[in-house]
Amino acid sequence: MIAMSPILNAYFQADLFGKFIFFSLFILSIVSWVILLHKLYLAKKLKLLNSSFEKKVQTNNENILSININSNSTYPYLNIYKSLKDKTLEILNKNRFFINEKKNVYMSSKDIELIDSHLDVEILKQTKLLEKNLFILPTVVTLGPFLGLLGTVWGILITFNTLQTQSLLNNNTSILSGLSMALSTTVVGLMVAIPALIAYNYLKNWIKNFRNDMLHFSHGLITTLEIQYRSVDVK
């Protein structure tokens, strides 16, 4: 609290435009922290859900399409599996028209490749959902220091204007408040930008790793599906 008192004093002594700059920096800070905390909560939640569903897939490995899913639930691994199941059943139903119904239905290598491509599209969709609102953080990183610089310039202008128009001895308070604002907005701008930069880099790395996990899960599903349904001699 003691360390923040100079900044608080600078805020209360600032003019209307100076207060607007401080308030804008405060809003940017709140927004960046909300995004970070929301993404961290989402990361923890998705890790638990995906881990649970992956275990369910492993226990039903002998019949990959037999897993019961809740249509109301939605999270990356479940959506990937839904995409696989829907596309696979669609292809199997089409293949029934070209073979004797008494025989088992299989898929060609082209069918497997089609499903794999379908899952890649789903993974891209899930990745974009994870990246939602993430663009705000680099915006805060860029805008924070510039708002701080604007406050610095404005504070110096106030100081020079006071020196030109009024007596130095009678206006020490105005001069000091201008200098205080100039320095404080720079500090606050950096205090806003630095955590946002760290958060952005951390979240980008997390999303990259999460995408790799989705690809690994997808490849596992495709491999299991290929073992169960691919026929070498599809006619």
pLDDT in tens, 173-216: 666 677 788 888 999 999 999 999 999 999 999 999 999 999 99
pLDDT band per the 50, 70, 90 thresholds, residue 4: low
5-63 pLDDT per residue, tens: 777 888 888 888 989 999 999 999 999 999 999 999 999 999 999 999 999 998 888 88
Q: CB within 8 A of 191, min separation 6: which ones? A: 29
Residue 20 forms part of a structural domain? no
What's residue 70's pLDDT?
76
The stretch 134-160 carries a mean pLDDT of 91
For the chain, give the mean pLDDT. Answer: 86
Place of tokens 């806003």: 192
What's residue 83's pLDDT?
93
Residue 121 forms part of a structural domain? yes
Residue 161 forms part of a structural domain? yes
Residue 8 forms part of a structural domain? no
Domains of the chain: total: 1
Residue 146 forms part of a structural domain? yes
Residue 26 forms part of a structural domain? no
Contact 129, 79 (CB under 8 A): no
Residue 225 forms part of a structural domain? yes
Residue 6 forms part of a structural domain? no
Query: Which of 75-79, 98-102, 178-182, 196-200 shows the lowest mean pLDDT across its residues?
Result: 98-102
Whole-model pTM over 0.95: no
Residue 234 has pLDDT above 60, yes or no: no
User: Domain range spanning residue 197?
Assistant: 35-57+74-229
What's residue 97's pLDDT?
64
